[in-house]
A and B are shown apart, each in its own frame.
Chain A
Amino acid sequence: MTEAQPFIFVVDDDSAVREAVGNLLESVGFRSQSFASADEFLRACRPDAPSCLLLDIRLPGVNGLDFQEVLEKSGVRIPIVFITAHGDVPMTTRAMKAGAVDVLTKPFQKDELLTAIRHALDLDNAARAEEAEVSKVRARYESLTNREREVMDLVVTGLMSRQIAMQLGITEITVKVHRSRVMAKMEAASLLELVRMSERLKPKPRR
């Protein structure tokens, strides 16, 4: 996977602020795109690159905090840095609890903004790497036959081959064959590695 150039999205209903933040980001070498509302952002197609979202809390239509939930629910995972003219404590708490990277109070300084953005991009990079890994494992998992998947699911719970054979009603020899095929297809060097892969395949709990 190639390291794409990071991309910053800005959502603020004030055109002057959008323009200024865009200019600042451009001056330090970030690519950016601005939107006047959350809807506009949703409708736009986003490049496949490490990215983060600079989101104004107070927006016409859906406000920033609600939009954060909308994104979370629809499975769009993008680190969010909130910007607000008057961040009060409950608002900030809610944003941070929901997983925001930072809440910046307008007018913010360049360093604050860049620190938050870099942090967000690091998070996104890690997440993207994780996601890439998971999708690789998932592809391998998809290549297994139904019986092999059954065997794998039982293996990772720590059952012995004999116990698996009894549960599935097949011979121990057959289980062992399936098991070695699973190890090969999943490219797992050890049982421990297979267990980790299986963990990754499970749906993530909400943060």
Chain B
Amino acid sequence: MYKVSNHSIAIVSIETTNWTIALRTDKFLQLGQGVCTSRALFRLDGQAWANTPDDLRYRQALGSRAMKLDATRVAWKLAAHESRGFSGSDRNDSSAITKRAGLTKLNATNLKDPPVKAAHSLLRRYGTAIVLVGLAFALTFILRYFFPYPVLFLFFAAVMVSAWLGGTGAGLFAVLLSTLVTDYYFVPPFNSFVIDARSISYFGAFVVCALVASWVSASKRKTEEALREARDQLEIRVAERTAALEKSNADLRRTMRDHEEGQQTLRQSQAELAHLARALTMGELTSSIAHEMNQPLTAVVSHGHACFEWLSADPPDIARARQTVTSIIRDGTRAGQVLKRIRALFSKQTHPGDMVEMNEVILELMVFLRDEALRHQIELSADLAPTLAPAKGDRIQLQQVVLNLMMNALDAIQMGTGEAKRIVVRTSLNAAEGIRISVEDTGIGLSAESAARIFDPFFTTKPDGIGMGLSISRSIVESHRGRLWADPRAGGGSIFQFTLPLHHEAEK
């Protein structure tokens, strides 16, 4: 029905859920993959190859009808093996499946024709031999009038072509026919099967030559077919390997994607945790925050009353009133900025690519913590490098790290019994490690046991701590490619410090 040129199709693998077939044509080697359901078999009908880039070229080369035929065959066989039913264990063993389904490596020869077509093929092969010998006979018959001796080499040609096209059987058939025809028409006495004594050697030589020609042609054909088959097998194996590689590639990609997704989820929950911890810390700082808000508000209210007085005076002191209003604006603006800083600390948003001036971050926090420190009569000071390069990262997260360290220092001092109550925040810059920020306190210090576990989640030395601060801080610092560690301070207390790579290094 359809004209199919030389194809070989092989089942490369059939697994629990997927099948892969390889299809080789004169020009292409194509892999098809699909899902083992009856719908997928339907999809084989031209669709299964749709996701390979060569699909279009393939279809253009062969015509979709040809492909449809191949696909239909494969589909038919797959359907057959599916309908027989497979146990679960078979499904993973492609050789068992192909064996039970009668689907061992299909290639050009055993896929070429269904049984009905085989008969047609036989007829065609022998018919070709008859026609060729007939043709040789006709030509030789005509040539007899031009040459004194019969020219028999055309029969050799007919035999060779028949053997080439139809194989050994057709070749021998052609030899038989040629022998009969030659004996009858061209060997004296003519028009009789009798051979006279003088012609026996001549006739014998003809028959031998015909047999040899047939044998040479047929065996050459066989060799070619064997070569071709070997090539097919090789290509199928290559296809199998390619399919296996592609599958493991896909697996790898899936694993990587899963990993990536896992990382994403982890980052997200870390960010949420950090936000929560930030909110908790800010909760501890409410009285300081209130104080920080109250100062400018107090100034605004007092200035407001004063302004009222200046205007109510007789005569009104406009100059002083104006000056007072200027102060009101200044202090009101300051209150707004305090609020903005607080909101920033509470913010859930992150901006990982910012350029962060760590000195600024520290000074901003000092404002919030100053009141807290005053309340416990702790001296809070900063010793900042005058020219500190900006760090690249998330300002809020980095601020959170410094805040955590400073809050810890405050707590450590309150837990301690030392006379000196001092916290010093330092920044420094050096080429080897970049920016270093250290928070030094004269507090209770770290025991050996605490020092080993202090960065573990849920480890805390505070009576009401949750043990997340340092763990979060360390993960923040590490995500900025820095390092966070703790050392004991000479003379009591501890030093917590972290490094951040310089901006140009962070980009590497």
> Which residues from chain A sit less than 8 Å from chain B, CB to CB?
14, 16-17, 19-21, 23-24, 26-28, 58-60, 63, 83, 85-86, 106-110, 113
Q: Point out the residue from B287, B291, B301, B320 that lies within 8 Å of A27, measured CB to CB.
A: B320
Of B92-100, B156-164, B303-311, B475-483, the segment with at least 4 beta carbons within 8 Å of chain A is B303-311
List the A side residues contacting B297 at CB < 8 Å.
Answer: 106-107
Q: Once the chains bind, are A20 and B374 in contact (CB under 8 Å)?
A: no
Interface membership of B334, Cβ < 8 A: yes
Interface membership of B294, Cβ < 8 A: yes
List the B side residues contacting A16 at CB < 8 Å.
Answer: 295-296, 299, 327, 330-331, 334
Whole-angstrom CA separation of A20 from B90 in the bound complex: 90
Whole-angstrom CA separation of A19 from B307 in the bound complex: 13
List the A side residues contacting B299 at CB < 8 Å.
Answer: 14, 16-17, 19-20
| Distance between B274 CB and nearest chain A CB, rounded to angstroms | 28
List the B side residues contacting A110 at CB < 8 Å.
Answer: 302, 305, 308-309
- Number of residues from B at the complex interface, CB < 8 A: 30
Q: Once the chains bind, are B305 and A109 in contact (CB under 8 Å)?
A: yes
List the B side residues contacting A19 at CB < 8 Å.
Answer: 299, 327
Q: Once the chains bind, are A21 and B374 in contact (CB under 8 Å)?
A: no
- Assuming A86-B287, A86-B291, is B298 touching A20 (CB within 8 A)? yes
Whole-angstrom CA separation of A14 from B313 in the bound complex: 28
Interface membership of B276, Cβ < 8 A: no
Whole-angstrom CA separation of A109 from B306 in the bound complex: 11
Q: Once the chains bind, are A63 and B377 in contact (CB under 8 Å)?
A: yes
Interface membership of B252, Cβ < 8 A: no
Q: Point out the residue from A20, A26, A27 that lies within 8 Å of B300, measured CB to CB.
A: A20
List the A side residues contacting B305 at CB < 8 Å.
Answer: 24, 27, 109-110
Q: Once the chains bind, are B291 and A20 in contact (CB under 8 Å)?
A: no
Q: Once the chains bind, are A17 and B306 in contact (CB under 8 Å)?
A: no
List the A side residues contacting B294 at CB < 8 Å.
Answer: 85-86, 106-107
List the A side residues contacting B309 at CB < 8 Å.
Answer: 24, 27-28, 110
Q: Point out the residue from B291, B295, B327, B334 that lies within 8 Å of A23, measured CB to CB.
A: B327
Interface membership of B33, Cβ < 8 A: no
Q: Once the chains bind, are B303 and A85 in contact (CB under 8 Å)?
A: no
In the complex, number of A-B residue pairs with CB atoms less than 8 Å apart: 84
Whole-angstrom CA separation of A142 from B383 in the bound complex: 58
Q: In this complex, which of B298, B303, B307, B309 has the most chain A Cβ atoms within 10 angstroms of its Cβ? A: B298
| Distance between B283 CB and nearest chain A CB, rounded to angstroms | 15
List the B side residues contacting A107 at CB < 8 Å.
Answer: 294, 297-298, 300-302
Q: Once the chains bind, are A106 and B303 in contact (CB under 8 Å)?
A: no
Interface of B is mostly: helix
| Distance between B217 CB and nearest chain A CB, rounded to angstroms | 112
Q: Point out the residue from B287, B303, B310 that lies within 8 Å of A20, measured CB to CB.
A: B303
Q: Once the chains bind, are B291 and A24 in contact (CB under 8 Å)?
A: no
> Assuming A16-B330, A107-B300, what are 16 further A-B pairs, CB within 8 angstroms?
A14-B295, A16-B327, A16-B331, A17-B295, A24-B303, A24-B305, A27-B307, A28-B309, A58-B371, A60-B374, A85-B290, A106-B295, A107-B297, A107-B301, A108-B298, A108-B302
| Distance between B296 CB and nearest chain A CB, rounded to angstroms | 6
Interface membership of B120, Cβ < 8 A: no
Which chain B residue lies CB-closest to A111?
Answer: B305
Interface membership of B214, Cβ < 8 A: no
Q: Once the chains bind, are A109 and B371 in contact (CB under 8 Å)?
A: no
List the B side residues contacting A24 at CB < 8 Å.
Answer: 302-303, 305-306, 309
List the A side residues contacting B182 at CB < 8 Å.
Answer: none
List the A side residues contacting B302 at CB < 8 Å.
Answer: 17, 20-21, 23-24, 107-108, 110, 113
Interface membership of B324, Cβ < 8 A: yes
Which chain A residue lies CB-closest to B293?
Answer: A85
| 20 sample A-B contacts, Cβ–Cβ < 8 Å, listed by A number | A16-B296, A16-B327, A16-B330, A17-B295, A17-B299, A20-B298, A20-B299, A23-B306, A23-B320, A23-B327, A24-B305, A27-B306, A58-B291, A59-B374, A83-B298, A85-B298, A86-B290, A108-B301, A108-B302, A113-B302
| Distance between B433 CB and nearest chain A CB, rounded to angstroms | 34
Which chain A residue lies CB-closest to B335?
Answer: A16
| Distance between A15 CB and nearest chain B CB, rounded to angstroms | 9
Which chain A residue lies CB-closest to B323?
Answer: A23
Q: Once the chains bind, are B371 and A27 in contact (CB under 8 Å)?
A: no
List the A side residues contacting B287 at CB < 8 Å.
Answer: 86
List the B side residues contacting A106 at CB < 8 Å.
Answer: 294-295, 297-298
Q: Once the chains bind, are B320 and A20 in contact (CB under 8 Å)?
A: no
Whole-angstrom CA separation of A129 from B446 in the bound complex: 59
List the B side residues contacting A14 at CB < 8 Å.
Answer: 295, 299
| Distance between B216 CB and nearest chain A CB, rounded to angstroms | 113
Contact with A along B453-480 (1 / 0, CB 8 A): 0000000000000000000000000000
List the B side residues contacting A23 at CB < 8 Å.
Answer: 302-303, 306, 320, 324, 327
Whole-angstrom CA separation of A85 from B299 in the bound complex: 12
Q: In this complex, which of B294, B299, B302 has the most chain A Cβ atoms within 10 angstroms of its Cβ? A: B302
| Distance between B378 CB and nearest chain A CB, rounded to angstroms | 11
List the B side residues contacting A86 at CB < 8 Å.
Answer: 287, 290-291, 294
List the A side residues contacting B301 at CB < 8 Å.
Answer: 20, 107-109
Q: Once the chains bind, are A17 and B298 in contact (CB under 8 Å)?
A: yes
Whole-angstrom CA separation of A58 from B307 in the bound complex: 27
Q: Once the chains bind, are A85 and B295 in contact (CB under 8 Å)?
A: yes
List the A side residues contacting B331 at CB < 8 Å.
Answer: 16, 20
| Distance between A37 CB and nearest chain B CB, rounded to angstroms | 11
List the B side residues contacting A27 at CB < 8 Å.
Answer: 305-307, 309-310, 313, 320
Q: In this complex, which of B299, B301, B320 has the most chain A Cβ atoms within 10 angstroms of its Cβ? A: B299
Whole-angstrom CA separation of A19 from B331 in the bound complex: 11
| Distance between A2 CB and nearest chain B CB, rounded to angstroms | 26
List the A side residues contacting B508 at CB < 8 Å.
Answer: none
Q: Once the chains bind, are A58 and B374 in contact (CB under 8 Å)?
A: yes
Interface membership of B375, Cβ < 8 A: yes
| Distance between A117 CB and nearest chain B CB, rounded to angstroms | 13
Whole-angstrom CA separation of A16 from B301 in the bound complex: 11
